[in-house]
Structure 1
């Protein structure tokens, strides 16, 4: 204590004698570190590409307040657990996992790192430091369906589907409901490739659907292979998660575009402010997270107008794709007139609606 006082006195004396000015420099706050884990490559032009665009936009909007990193091509296996642990150990205050199959690994790692926030895309398990988030992709699928119903000449639509989880089944159903709302004669068939990103399988599935007479294709897979196959065979298709027109300009009608940045900015702001709380965040058209965009000149103005009117209805809340009366594939009513399917029911959807042909893989 005596030495401390002596040093303080000596310093004051030197300042007094020499006329030195004591300057205090503010120490800049360290940027918030956030890690992102991707199922596919950032160049897939689909799901992972859209997430990465959202990551970059959120970081740019922070103006130096956030520093992000990402790991791509992480399989939904035990290896994902290693990646989540590594990001937490490296000091990332929030870690985003962007695929449904990461769920159990994230639950486990979140318990081991209680001071790190984990956010799981499309999942349903939460914890004190684990939240879930998603965008209402079914709203985009519904709007694409409206265009498809107007543009199909043979009344047969096709979907290249990834993995039979509620998210994908919901999108196939919404696409069909949108199409049948403007053309009741429409039917839809899906081919499942059991992968989120496999350009070869996606192409094979697209060609098979075309050979079965489908003249407008949608996908719930991540590469532009479906659009490329449609261009090659002279049929029509859509961009999924982002604009894919450069891969097939003559085939590409429009795109369901996802804007993940609105969710990422909200989450990062809350973590930085210490106000983040666990929960289930599910945003759609009205939140700026989903849009139909990049219409091609192939789409008549009248068709574009109808699609945009439906978008406006979704934005205002006056329209919900799953509004009764609705029937399932067997013709049995599952939703009465005027009723709206709840979020809880949508998240468990495991059946096809009327108009979808074929069966869902077990």
Structure 2
């Protein structure tokens, strides 16, 4: 077996690219697209009594007047925050896991500042009715609700309209909706391009594979960037993309189906691919089995560092740091400036 040093030491150029991928991935986060911030103020009318003393020649005249003045002051920040999250997949899936992990981290940061944060979540809400009921339950008690709205945009936006005083922060490929529905997404197509450069450099068969969820904009931009990066350094590379959607049982989630991802990755490896971009978790297991059989197959992880899941075969991962987005969301809700 090859040591980690051998894997990561393909060449100095590859080592530099690995560092660049990590750096870009750590900052690859998009602030939530919110409506313009507003300044929240309160206006108070203060009544004051003033005594005026005026000297007229030898006489002194004393006059009392009542004066009203208007003072505008900023709204005091909330000191408690109720946060709820509704996820379609288990939080062990990297996309929703990145959001969940970030909320937990930022919760600790704010509590260290004296802000009480009540955070609860539900996951595996792939059924449309269950998803809607979970959103309703969350909105009834929360100041802010985080969710992934992909494939359920109509449900998410309909619930948000019913609760205009609750902030909704949704993973989405569409625009925000006033007054309370903000959207966010990652910026992982940039490190995906660099990961593709690595793939193009290390492939020996000139065949790379991608195991992805489905053909939508959110997925395509990352997959296409990976392939473009590979072809930029190796024009002979041929890429094969396979999707979970269409290969999973009816009613199950294309976002999280590790067994199907593994099966599809095994097919790509059998076809000669020696670098697999695991856009969906599970593909790395096929690479591990191939490696154990003596095949030289590498994996690029997505959303989270995949090294611990498959240390023998993971060459790099795209890592989504969602904490800056969660911080912005918390701050605006606490300040009353969400919308």
- Scaled by the length of structure 1, the TM-score of the pair is 0.65
CA distance in 1, matches of 2:157, 2:260: 31
Contact 1:58 1:265 in 2 (8 A): yes
CA distance in 2, matches of 1:133, 1:76: 22
Contact 1:241 1:257 in 2 (8 A): yes
CA distance in 1, matches of 2:310, 2:257: 18
CA distance in 2, matches of 1:142, 1:255: 12
CA distance in 2, matches of 1:183, 1:99: 37
Structure 2 SS opposite 1:245: coil
Structure 2 SS opposite 1:257: coil
1:252 aligns with 2:314: yes
Post-superposition CA distance 1:145-174 (Å, at most 9, x none): 111111111111100011211111111110
Q: 1:29 to 1:266 in 2, by over 3 A?
A: closer
Please state how far the C-alpha of 1:182 moved relative to its aligned partner: 1.6
Please state how far the C-alpha of 1:86 moved relative to its aligned partner: 0.3
Please state how far the C-alpha of 1:179 moved relative to its aligned partner: 0.9
Instruction: State how 1:1-362 maps to structure 2 within 5 Å.
Output: 31-44=80-93, 46-63=94-111, 64-65=114-115, 66-75=117-126, 77-89=128-140, 91-127=141-177, 128-194=179-245, 195-221=254-280, 223=281, 225-234=282-291, 235-277=297-339
Higher relative contact order (CA 8 A, sep 6+): 2
Contact 2:150 2:173 in 1 (8 A): yes
Count of matched residue positions in the alignment of Structure 1 and Structure 2? 246
- Scaled by the length of structure 2, the TM-score of the pair is 0.69
Contact 2:79 2:334 in 1 (8 A): no
Runs of 4+ in structure 1 displaced over 3 angstroms?
Answer: none
Structure 2 SS opposite 1:135: coil
Give the greater-gyration-radius structure (CA). 2
CA distance in 2, matches of 1:238, 1:197: 17
Post-superposition CA distance 1:227-274 (Å, at most 9, x none): 121121121102211111122212100110111111011111111111
Please state how far the C-alpha of 1:143 moved relative to its aligned partner: 2.0
RMSD: 1.6
CA distance in 1, matches of 2:157, 2:266: 39
Contact 1:218 1:238 in 2 (8 A): yes
CA distance in 2, matches of 1:119, 1:81: 15
Match of 1:285 in 2: none
Greater shift, 111-120 or 238-247, is seen at 238-247
CA distance in 2, matches of 1:217, 1:34: 37
Please state how far the C-alpha of 1:74 moved relative to its aligned partner: 1.1
Structure 2 SS opposite 1:124: coil
Structure 2 SS opposite 1:158: strand
CA distance in 1, matches of 2:145, 2:191: 27
Please state how far the C-alpha of 1:175 moved relative to its aligned partner: 0.4
In structure 1, runs of 5+ residues without a counterpart are 1-27, 278-362
CA distance in 2, matches of 1:94, 1:48: 16
Q: 1:83 to 1:104 in 2, by over 3 A?
A: same
